[in-house]
C-alpha cells in the first residue's frame, strides 16, 4: 500500500515547548518511533508542517533587527531543518529503509485571493499586549483565538508540484521521500516558464492531498496532536467522528486555522477515490492501517465507501 503521511507542525514542536533544535529532535525521535511500523510495512511518502518553525525563524530575524528573509526562503530553510531531523531519526528507528529529503517547490497562482486575506497561522502564541507590540514593530497580521494571538500569513492553494517526477523516481527506487515539507516552497510561473518564489506559506495538508492524488496513493494519513475530527469541538457535547462520507463531512464547518484544512484535504482526496484518515501521531500505525469506522478504530476515516457520518458512542 502506498501511503502519503503528513505530520502536523505542532506535533513536532508543541505549544509551550522551548524553541530549540534539541527539543525538536526529541519530538522527532518520538514521531519516528510511532512511524517505524508504517515504514516497515508500506511504501511511504512523508511530508510535514512548518508553522512553528517558519514563524520562529522570522521572529528571530526580526528580534535581531534584521530584515527577515521572505517566506519562500524560510519555507526552504524549514524543509531542510525538519527534513534533516526526520530523515536522521527515522533511519535510526528503521535502519533497513533508505530516506531522502527533497527540497520541493509548489506552484501557486499569483492572483490567488489568499494573498489579500492572510489566514495561515505560523509561529508562537502571544497574549494581547505582546501581539500588539509585534504587529506594530514588525508589521505582522495577527489573529485571536480563545484569548491568544498568533501571526497569520497568506496561504494560496497549491496548483502543481515542480519536483513530482523526482518524487516518483525516488519511490520507484524503494526510497522513502520526505517531500513538500511545510506545504512546499511557493513559487509562481512566468509566461516564459521561469519560476520565482512568493511570500506565503502553503498549507501542508492541501499539498499532501495533491501529492497523494498525483501519485495515485492508496491512503492519505494526516497525523496531528488530536485523535480525530470532532463535532462540537471545545464543548461538553464533543463527539469524535469515526467514519464519514466526504460530502457529509464537508457539510460541517471546522476551524480555518486548525482542523479545517485537514478536513478539506481529506475530503478532496476521498472524492478522488482514495481513503483519507485524520488521527493522532502517537497512534500512527493504527491510523494508517487499522481505522475501520468502528468504536475501537483509530482516527477519522473519510471514504466514499460509507454513507453519512458515524460517531464514536
Catalytic residues: 9-10, 120, 204, 262
Query: C-alpha grid cell for residue 127?
Result: 497574549
Q: Residue 304 region, left (φ>0) first, then alpha (ψ -120 to 50), else beta? A: alpha
The C-alpha atoms of residue 244 and residue 16 are separated, in whole angstroms, by 33
The helix (H) or strand (E) run that includes residue 204 is helix 204-215
Q: How many helices (H) and strands (E) does the chain have?
A: 10, 17
Q: Kindly state the DSSP code that residue 306 receives in the 8-state scheme.
A: S
Q: Kindly state the DSSP code that residue 173 receives in the 8-state scheme.
A: T
The C-alpha atoms of residue 312 and residue 301 are separated, in whole angstroms, by 12
The C-alpha atoms of residue 19 and residue 15 are separated, in whole angstroms, by 10
Residue 247: alpha-carbon gap to chain centroid: 22
Q: Beta 275-280 vs 160-161: how paired, if at all? A: unpaired
The C-alpha atoms of residue 282 and residue 66 are separated, in whole angstroms, by 38
Amino acid at each position: 500500500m502506498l501511503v502519503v503521511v503528513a505530520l502536523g507542525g505542532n506535533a513536532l514542536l508543541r505549544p509551550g515547548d522551548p524553541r530549540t533544535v534539541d527539543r525538536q529532535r526529541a519530538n522527532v525521535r518520538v514521531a519516528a518511533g510511532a512511524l517505524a511500523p508504517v515504514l516497515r510495512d508500506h511504501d511511504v511518502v512523508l511530508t510535514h508542517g512548518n508553522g512553528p518553525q517558519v514563524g520562529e525563524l522570522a521572529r528571530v530575524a526580526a528580534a535581531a533587527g534584521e530584515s527577515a528573509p521572505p517566506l519562500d526562503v524560510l519555507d526552504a530553510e524549514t524543509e531542510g531543518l525538519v527534513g534533516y531531523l526526520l530523515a536522521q531519526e527515522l533511519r535510526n528507528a528503521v535502519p533497513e529503509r533508505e530516506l531522502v529529503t527533497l527540497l520541493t517547490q509548489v506552484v501557486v497562482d499569483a492572483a490567488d485571493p489568499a494573498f489579500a486575506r492572510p489566514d495561515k497561522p505560523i509561529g508562537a502564541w502571544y497574549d494581547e499586549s505582546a501581539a500588539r507590540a509585534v504587529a506594530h514593530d514588525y508589521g505582522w497580521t495577527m489573529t485571536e483565538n480563545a484569548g491568544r494571538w498568533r501571526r497569520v500569513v497568506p496561504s494560496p492553494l497549491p496548483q502543481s508540484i515542480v519536483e513530482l517526477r523526482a518524487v516518483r523516481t525516488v519511490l520507484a527506487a524503494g526510497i522513502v521521500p520526505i517531500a513538500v515539507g511545510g506545504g512546499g516552497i511557493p513559487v509562481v510561473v512566468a509566461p516564459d516558464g521561469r519560476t520565482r518564489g512568493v511570500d506565503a506559506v502553503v498549507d501542508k495538508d492541501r499539498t499532501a492531498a495533491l501529492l497523494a492524488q498525483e501519485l495515485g496513493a492508496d491512503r492519505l494519513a494526516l497525523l496531528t496532536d488530536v485523535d480525530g475530527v470532532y463535532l462540537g469541538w471545545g464543548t461538553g457535547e464533543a463527539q469524535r467522528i469515526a467514519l464519514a462520507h466526504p460530502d457529509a463531512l464537508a457539510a460541517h464547518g471546522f476551524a480555518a486555522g486548525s482542523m479545517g484544512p485537514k478536513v478539506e484535504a481529506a475530503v478532496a482526496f476521498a472524492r478522488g477515490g482514495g481513503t483519507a484518515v485524520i488521527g493522532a501521531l502517537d497512534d500512527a500505525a493504527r491510523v494508517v492501517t487499522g481505522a475501520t469506522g468502528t468504536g475501537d478504530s483509530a482516527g477519522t476515516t473519510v471514504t466514499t465507501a460509507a454513507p453519512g457520518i458515524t460517531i464514536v458512542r
